Amino acid sequence: MRLRKESDDLQEEEILLIARVSDALAHPVRIKIYRYIMTCNRERTTVCNKDVVNAFPYSQATISQHIKKLVTAGLVEVKKEEKFSKYYANIGVLMKYLDATKKFNSN
């Protein structure tokens, strides 16, 4: 049995975090792109824009737009390396998101 703590209550800021991240994950293709970037990161393979474009049946413009949403939510970070934009998943943001969402079920 878990004691209820003050920190269990969902604060406004966390609600906005949930809304932003949920919005980013609200499209199947973005979920798959995010997972793709995660997997590449885990395997220590870098991912650039073209890699994502090759992996999914959408135009370069559409892929860039989807990635932008993931970046805006903080789920993905972009680092310019040479002539490439390399994408990295930010695990911390996902963890914060999961923690906040878990609170629904704990207070």
If one asks whether residue 13 binds DNA (CB under 7 A), the answer comes out as no
Closest to 40 measured CA to CA, from 24, 54, 27: 54
Q: Would the CA dihedral through 25, 30, 33, 37 be positive or negative?
A: negative
Task: Give start and end residues of each alpha helix (H) in the chain.
Answer: 12-24, 28-42, 49-55, 60-72, 91-102
- Residue 95 interacts with which of a copy of itself, DNA, none, CB < 5 to 8 Å by class: a copy of itself
Residue 67 in contact with DNA, rule: CB under 7 A = yes
Convert residues 1-40 into a mask of x (bound to a copy of itself by CB under 8 A) and - (unbound).
---------x----xx-xx-xxxxxxxx--xx-xx--xx-
Q: With contact defined as beta carbons under 8 Å apart, do 43 and 89 qualify?
A: no
List the single partner that 79 binds among a copy of itself, DNA, none, CB under 5 to 8 Å by kind: none
Based on the number of CB atoms within 10 Å of its own CB, is 90 exposed (0-12), middle (13-18) or buried (19 or more)?
middle
* Contact footprint for DNA (CB under 7 A): 23, 26-27, 29, 48-50, 57-62, 64-69, 78, 82-86
* Contact footprint for a copy of itself (CB under 8 A): 10, 15-16, 18-19, 21-28, 31-32, 34-35, 38-39, 42, 91, 94-95, 97-98, 101-102, 104-105, 107
